[in-house]
Structure 1
Amino acid sequence: MNKLTAWFKSIQFILGLQSQDESLPDTKEILIPIRNGVLRADCYLPKSKSLGTIVTINGLAPLGNRDPRFIIVNKSLQKIGFTVVSPFYEEICDYKISLRNIEDIKDSILFISNQKEICPAGKVSIFSPSFSGSLSLIAASDKQIAERINCICAIGAYANVEDIIENLFANQNLDEYGRMILLLNFLPISIGKNESLFKAIKLTTLDNYYKSKDLYLKPHYQKMKQADRLFFDQLKNDPEFRIRHWNVILKKGGKNRELLTALSVTNHIETLKLPILLIHGLKDDVVPANESSLLHNKLIHQGVESKLCITTLISHGDTGFNAMTLLELPKLITSFSFFFLKALDQKN
């Protein structure tokens, strides 16, 4: 594949993302052993000889690899000639943020890259949006894992997790879905256990995901104790209240501090050496675009082959591009062509 072919593949890919067909095609399901169990994965095989193997890693979404938007991404990559392996990361899909997320990604990369039938070259490329884009970058900072990866495309990734959490807690106008996921994971450090409260937070998260206004939350909310309802309402609507709890979280040491440190890409960036494409929506309402700019500057400073594309064509971690803004399309096409050239099986 030369640069011109990669450019045309990028156009085909972007056009494929405009599809309204969210149906799951005929895929081969494989099982991926990990240290804590087994992951199911959908394998999309191209009709002709594969150009290479791409592992797609879904963001924090309950449908995971079978989120309709993600199915469209996988089918678009398949149609331009890549083998696509898309695991269902159970912990990530259940909104659980932990170091296990990173280990699961590492284990899946090692397993998939060892399967000659779907990855004859022994190396994969990674396509990952949102929170999982940053997790993928952290996983790739491990030398053993990096040796199995050709390149990474991270969409809407963050650099420093603490900055993102504080920003979402402090700014009421930012995305509630992301805020609720972070509260679900980090608020217990401040207040301990409260089953009713955390159920309300999770149900609100599901209402946001499915765009169902209080459908999941309302029956539970009506049964909550008055004190829990008041607390929940403050969490939902009062930035100062959230920040007070965030300050408590930051003061806690031990494993809590270790987790926040380990989840920040900037703490691993010195060992990232492989080619990286960073794509970010200019108006991202979860992770500001300057997070990808920060990562890109640090990677370039280290001599890492990295490309940055900040565009108005996408929102946070979204992969459905609005092809109406024609002036920005060439930049996006060129960016994806960089990724596809690097993702190519060198035997092709």
Structure 2
Amino acid sequence: MSEALLELGALRKHFPVRDMLGRSRGAVRAVDGVSLTVPRGSVLAIVGESGCGKSTLGRLALRLIEPDAGSIRFEGEDLRALSAAGLRARRREMQLIFQDPFASLDPRMTVEAAIAEPLRLHRIVPRGGERARVAELLERVGLRPESARRWPHEFSGGQRQRIAIARALASGPKLIIGDEPVSALDVSVQAQVVNLLGDLIRDLGLTFVLISHDLGVVRHIADRVAVMYLGQIVEEGPAAQVFAAPRHPYTRALLASVPGTGVKTLPIEGDVPSPITPPPGCRFHTRCPHAEAICREQVPLLEGFAHRAACHLQDRLPPAPALHEADAGGDRLRRLQAFFTPTGAPA
């Protein structure tokens, strides 16, 4: 059995832009040639600014959006070659947790109906056994079994996200993609849900892809980190190495932007270029304080072994600013976990 559970090869998705008369005005290059490997049982975090393409990449990986080009392989099987029936059978092994727990739950369905739906769809439990399985899933995510009879609007945001997690677990998936799963929650509740996700990943042996902009959460839970900028991966490697010794100027700027880190680096100037007409060469060169002529002329390759970066100057950049234990929000998250983890009703 392959060590890689999910493999993305040169994945591309461009969304056409048209004017009011329907004439083509180009295309938004949301994902532009992304290749990633997610080892079985690992946690990969995809980070970057809003609009960089990370959510689109997550949906492409599950074939919720059809790519324009590239390959998607799950356990070595090409998902793009599957029929509708074959893809549906595979879907039970791949699940998605959405950012907004209220919008992702049907307000016309009770909690029991929402969680039991994938059980019925994939015929996972015998007829009549759904109620017991729903109760088991609710207890696993820290909710009382009697919650099954209630409606989504009767729960807090954190409780709704727990329900969404229970629904994602219902089909017994091997891979879960979390699209900003805690960003819509209060900070205190975030720590509880992050703890829950960490426990589930460990206890169930899940492979997890976390899409996030919260570097504190990423540092706490991720094994590997992939940094996206304008539809491309600019750095990828073990989380500890990326945080301790970032090789790309954009990654350094992201770390320095976290309040309270004390990290000093050269500032990024200007706005993010349009994804319709990205700049030639390195897409970050228009904002990079280290850019040279080669950066404006040649597209950098994602080079390296375990820790890779797409930067012509990565071997000539000044040493990266050191991150301390309390940096990148990690200490804040740990303090919150210590305070809000004691027994009591989950948020």
TM-score scaled by length of structure 2: 0.31
TM-score scaled by length of structure 1: 0.31
More strand by share: 2
Larger radius of gyration between Structure 1 and Structure 2: 2
